[in-house]
Structure 1
């Protein structure tokens, strides 16, 4: 029987590229996302080894659909990639924002980036292969550089969560790591907010003078999920072209 992987946020960008890579490595891949049409397009692109589950993994009531799709099979790889920057109702947030607006903004970003990973991981832990299971969480350069308010804080929170998981699961032979991408094109992260000037500024901030691509992140996942990553756990793996030096 083929190995099994689950990739949340698997319909576009980094998630879709990662799911395609895993399918190419022989995995059956379950991609999870909120938009059925986007997932359907991704399944066509990835190929017959991919199936889709439409679910908002920030909603506890929708998580059982993913668990049902996994069924009784052992889960080899879980990639918690779902997440997004959720703009404030005040755009940009200003000094006149009410505390209710501030709370709403922060909760929305934590729900989107932290709760998605916590709920899906918790639900799928019983299915995870022991030994040999791999858990990967997608963070962001914003966790180290700041600049995105609650999004930066939420992504940084994933680091502590991953380290706790790694400690808890290490003696069961399960690895847990974080990949922290820099600026990556061909994703929906910036939606229509990116300007040519903003793009160039981010490219100039790298040592390699190019933006990242989803496949760059998928290659880091390939390493962590393959034989070469078997002794790597509790690490924050930076993939940012040198825009943040190692730390």
Structure 2
């Protein structure tokens, strides 16, 4: 990254992609704080991640405004890099009437959009200027569709355009990393068997599925000084499963 000792906040940092992102920054000598809903999982990750500094854990449900307000008091006074990784699953729209459909869509939106929006709004006054970085984890579902989940992830892309315009005059950037299937995250439920992994591999152009460290590398690049002129963009990191325009 080129700048050791920066202050980094990673939401959803207890497992999967978020943990890999936290580990990447910690190894580079940055001061990392991880956020997440599951306190014990989060604290265990903070203990296990090795770096030049102790990783701090702040348990919080980022979809709840009051909890974000509370957690803000425990977060650093100045932040160089904010990584919005917290999110939830989608799933098919439930059987039933319009009430059930509305509840499903609101739940998916609340768990995938509100954590990024609320945390970013809460920390914007603390984001370094110039040089601040906001990197949000999206999904290929935003580009190829997947019901409420795809719509929620697409909302993050639109929101990021507004955020980039807001941060630009301050010399800060905002971008989205768009993963496809990522092995070892548990996000899709039970671990994939060999047949599913083979199908996932064949759906990429490189014949491989991503690991969490691959997504962490993309995040680290967008957070680096070398990416200072990249903002308002989304970076596909899905092995060609979905091609850019």
Q: TM-score range by the shorter chain?
A: over 0.9
Q: Does 1:232 align with 2:237?
A: no
Task: Give the number of aligned pairs.
Answer: 240
Could you tell me which runs of 5 or more consecutive residues in structure 2 were left unpaired when the two chains were aligned.
Answer: none
Q: 1:70-106 CA distances to partner (integer Å, 9 max, x unpaired)?
A: 243x10000000012144xxxx546x42111101111
Q: 1:112-142 CA distances to partner (integer Å, 9 max, x unpaired)?
A: 1101100000000011111110001110011
Equivalent pair of 2:43/2:57 in contact (CA under 8 Å): yes
Q: 1:200 matched to which residue of 2?
A: 198
Q: 1:51-83 CA distances to partner (integer Å, 9 max, x unpaired)?
A: 0011010001111233112243x1000000001
Q: Scaled by the length of structure 2, what TM-score is found?
A: 0.93
Q: 1:41 matched to which residue of 2?
A: 44
Instruction: Tell me the distance in 2 between the aligned counterparts of 1:193 and 1:100.
Output: 32
Higher mean displacement: 185-194 or 151-160: 185-194
Could you tell me which runs of 5 or more consecutive residues in structure 1 were left unpaired when the two chains were aligned.
Answer: none
Q: 1:115 matched to which residue of 2?
A: 114
Q: 1:140 matched to which residue of 2?
A: 139
Q: 2:218 matched to which residue of 1?
A: 220
Instruction: Tell me the distance in 1 between the aligned counterparts of 2:103 and 2:79.
Output: 35
Equivalent pair of 2:93/2:104 in contact (CA under 8 Å): no
1:196 positional shift: 4.2
Q: CA RMSD in A?
A: 1.6
Q: 2:152 matched to which residue of 1?
A: 154
1:194 positional shift: 4.4
Q: Does 1:63 align with 2:62?
A: no
Give the alignment of 1:154-193 within 5 angstroms: 154-192=152-190
Q: Scaled by the length of structure 1, what TM-score is found?
A: 0.92
Instruction: Tell me the distance in 1 between the aligned counterparts of 2:237 and 2:109.
Output: 23
Q: Does 1:50 align with 2:49?
A: no
Instruction: Tell me the distance in 2 between the aligned counterparts of 1:43 and 1:71.
Output: 16
Q: Does 1:15 align with 2:43?
A: no
Q: 1:27 matched to which residue of 2?
A: 30
Instruction: Tell me the distance in 1 between the aligned counterparts of 2:15 and 2:143.
Output: 24
